[in-house]
A and B are shown apart, each in its own frame.
Chain A
Amino acid sequence: MNDLLRKQDLESNPTPRVPICLCLDVSGSMGRIVGGNVQNTGRREYHDGKWWNIVEGGITALQEMIGGVNLFYDNLLEDDVARYSAEICVVTFGGNSPELILDFANLDRQESERQQKISALEAHGETPLGEAVNMALDCLDTRKREFKDAGVDYFQPWLVLMTDGEPNGSTAELNRAISRTNELANNRRLTIFPIGIGEEADMNCLAKFSPKRPPLRLKGMNFKGFFEWLSASVSRTSQSMPGDKIKLDLDGLKGWADL
């Protein structure tokens, strides 16, 4: 150790960021039971374009997804580099319109809000998928502008789109969202992961969002496998350097996706 470089005479630039937007389906159908013990109440209700048997108990698809999202955060918080590099925003779509649940922020600063808001998600209403993707892209654009203004380097943004059904919002909004993601992905300005949940996910529609990579269908309800894979991928990206090609671990997909 010598006195050639004094810490007070150095600059401290922010860690390059990996912006990730989770665009998650919380429509009524995500409240369907996918495991656990249930008791039938004998009631039937019409939601999200279908009739449903109302039961008590059991584990819903949304609860499985919430567990996966929380695991994603926990894994990133345990990673020395990704903890400061990853920035997550969460947009949900249910009801009649999308909702920005968590805006971009450093994970540590977002922590208490995350614990409160992610666990409180409820399945309800329709599937305004196009509107949600447009909101997610707007959030990513705003964050990129903020990064540029603040002199913060950043990696190509990621958009994770998860749905279990087919969109039933505005067709114009859906087409606009498809056109925006295609343009960004084709120009290498966005990495998009369209993920279908369950057998009824509209894989044809998801495919339209992703010109370079086909959508993947989650194996069963293996949200845990997907979010573990995603956090490992974010971690690798956060440690990459200029000139590095960011390669996704395609073999790792097999653990959670039906290929």
Chain B
Amino acid sequence: MEWKSVCCAVQGKGHSKKNIPCQDKVARLEMNGVQVIALADGAGSASMSHFGAECVVDSVSKFVAENFLDLIAQDDGRIVKQEILSVALQALNDAAKIHDCTLKDLASTLLVAAVGDGKFFLVHLGDGVIGYLNDAGLKTASTPDNGEFSNETVFVTSTNAAAHMRLYKGLLKKISGFILMSDGSEQSLYNKRNKNLAPAVKRLMHRTCLVDAEILTPQLEDAIKSVILDNTQDDCSIAILARNSEQLPPLNELPLSERQELFRIDGSSAFRKVRRKIFRCDKICALLAKPLTLKQLARKLHLKPHYAEKKLRRLTDAGIVTRTANGFKTYGN
């Protein structure tokens, strides 16, 4: 099953009151069959940390994607830590020159998850949480590395960064999702007492598999603004990697009510008209398991292209079907 990703960062109440930019930054990229998500939470005390966090997620995610197999193969974790830190610090040094500031002004945490070739690789420095989903459910991979007090943590620019950096690698086997979250999101998506992830994480992973990231990202931002921001003063960010599995079933294995919700079809499915709409969407999604042009799809649906496009629009708007270079394809597997 193909891995999908989504990520977003939303400015917190504390920062919007003071007109300070969102210091959480996220990135996702795919390169040579490797998928990477990264998240960095810029330090509140560092004036340019929003630039620093951006530099760190961009440089490290690119480095991990380009060197995934080498990083996995390297048995000496100290070398991997040094490589990652030197990539991040090099990018930060360049940024410090551009923004005429010190490295400390660019301080941020760093969380990365990468998958490829049946393996995973995780990096965690500072606070925030890395979680995953396997056949037994949601698990926490790496807990926040806070000091004793709430405002203490470790940053990429800290002198003891290498000592605090945690690396994890292994075979994916039955793992079908990873989530990175900043400490702002942690307030709602992680139970600090029992160190468990909130049930909501699984739903987010499932949507990541099924809904086009272009459509899902603004939905995720809205959801964070309306539900999660209320529980913290801090910026909130998350990044998710997920693939279909028994825990995250593909579209054609979902019950009617869930398909109706995903297709955004109103009304009770007790009505034949509503059910017919759902089945039509099912048929289009099945046909678009492989990419088709509009003409090809119209022919298979026995419709004129104009009508086929109209039927298709519901699914593209919902992010269930996505545009390809020549036509359309169902986003999920």
Contacts and interface: CB of A to CB of B under 8 A. Distances in A.
B188 interface: yes
Interface string A137-162: 00000000000001111111000000
A156 B149 contact: yes
B151 A151 contact: no
A23 B150 CA distance: 24
A242 B231 contact: no
Given A4-B219, A241-B234, A243-B155, A151 B192 contact: yes
Contacts of A6: 200, 203
A14 to B, nearest CB: 8
Interface string B135-153: 0000000000010111111
B227 A242 contact: no
Interface stretch (B43-51, B58-66, B110-118): B43-51
A250 interface: no
Interface in A149-185: 150-156
Interface string B153-177: 1010000000000000000000000
Interface in B8-52: 12, 14, 41-46, 49
A35 B104 CA distance: 52
Given A9-B199, A242-B44, A242-B127, A4 B234 contact: no
A218 to B, nearest CB: 28
Contacts of B189: 10-11
- Which of under 10, 10 to 19, 20 to 34, or 35 or more describes the interface residues of A? 20 to 34
Contacts of B288: none
B233 A10 contact: no
A242 B150 contact: yes
Nearest to B186: A13
Q: Binding site of A, secondary structure by majority: helix, strand, loop or mixed?
A: loop
Interface string A1-36: 111111101111100100000000000000000000
A101 interface: no
B255 to A, nearest CB: 16
Contacts of A240: 44, 150-151
A6 to B, nearest CB: 7
Contact of A243 (B43, B187, B199): B43
A239 B46 contact: no
A11 B222 contact: no
Interface size class of B (residues with CB under 8 A): 35 or more
Given A1-B222, A154-B150, A242-B151, A7 B127 contact: no
A2 B261 CA distance: 11
Nearest to B107: A243
A12 B188 contact: yes
A7 B200 CA distance: 9
Nearest to B233: A239
Given A2-B222, A5-B223, A242 B152 contact: yes
A240 B151 CA distance: 7
Contact of A241 (B151, B188, B226): B151
Nearest to B204: A4
Given A4-B204, A242-B127, A244-B45, A13 B148 contact: no
Contact of B227 (A10, A156, A243): A10
A211 B172 CA distance: 53
Contacts of A7: 227
A239 B13 CA distance: 10
Contacts of A153: 146, 149-150, 192
A11 B183 contact: no
Interface in B244-296: 261
Given A5-B223, A81-B233, A150 B152 contact: no
B228 A242 contact: no
B187 A13 contact: yes
A245 B151 CA distance: 8
Contacts of B14: 239, 241
A155 B149 contact: yes
A10 B192 contact: no
- Shortest beta-carbon contacts, A-B, top 9: A151-B193, A243-B43, A244-B44, A9-B200, A16-B150, A151-B192, A4-B223, A153-B150, A5-B223
28 contacts: A1-B222, A2-B219, A4-B222, A5-B228, A7-B227, A10-B198, A10-B200, A11-B191, A11-B198, A12-B231, A13-B186, A150-B193, A151-B195, A153-B149, A153-B150, A155-B150, A155-B151, A156-B151, A189-B148, A239-B14, A240-B151, A241-B183, A241-B233, A243-B41, A243-B153, A244-B44, A244-B45, A244-B151
